[in-house]
Amino acid sequence: MLELKAEPLTPEAFAPFGDVIDTRTAEYFHINAGRTRRYHDLAKVETLGEETRALISIFVSQPISLPLELDFLERHPLGSQAFMPLHEERFVVVVAPPGETIDPDEVRAFVTDGRQGVNYRAGTWHAIQSVLEREGEFLVVDRGGEGNNCDEHPLALRVSL
């Protein structure tokens, strides 16, 4: 079984897998007569293939127990998938680079601080939603349209903080 220790989520460490969504480090400009800060273009939304569209959903996830034990990772080869917590929920992120197989030496685990979201690039292997402490609500942006956009790869792993 692959043992991982989740590290703090930073834009630099997560860059090979996608984008960290965090208004505290992003640039903004004012709109709505100066009453609103717009944090613009925080993640690259990818919808690959014919006749696709971006989907906006809300996921409500039950909390996991630690250590987190998983027996597979999944990927979405035809589009990115972004998760943004709505109520400062912390969550565990497990990722591996895109490819047909997963190299255990390249699997990484991160823990968010509750204000950060992630955007997985198309094809990035990742764990299922793994919220800590309490039920979590997440704004999710991903791809809709034709084609199989979810693959699973068996991999036994355990993540601790």
Whether the Cβ atoms of residue 93 and residue 136 lie closer than 8 Å to each other: no
Cα–Cα dist 25/102, whole Å: 31
pLDDT in tens, 69-125: 999 999 999 999 999 999 999 999 999 999 999 999 999 999 999 999 999 999 999
Per-residue pLDDT, 134: 96
Cα–Cα dist 58/79, whole Å: 17
CA dist list (Å): 106 to 57, 98, 99, 109, 110: 30, 10, 11, 10, 13
Task: Note the pLDDT of residue 79.
Answer: 97
Q: All domains of the chain, ordered by start, with CATH?
A: 2-160 (2.60.120.480)
pLDDT in tens, 2-59: 999 999 999 999 999 999 999 998 999 999 999 999 999 999 999 999 999 999 999 9
pLDDT of residue 16: 97
Whole-angstrom Cα distance, residue 155 to residue 120?
19
Per residue in 27-45, is it b (16+ CB within 10 Å) or e — as a string? eeeeeeeeeeeeeeebbeb
Q: What is the pTM of this model?
A: 0.93
- For residue 125, which phi and psi values (nearest 5 degrees)? -70, 140
Q: Are 120 and 126 in contact (CB under 8 A)?
A: yes
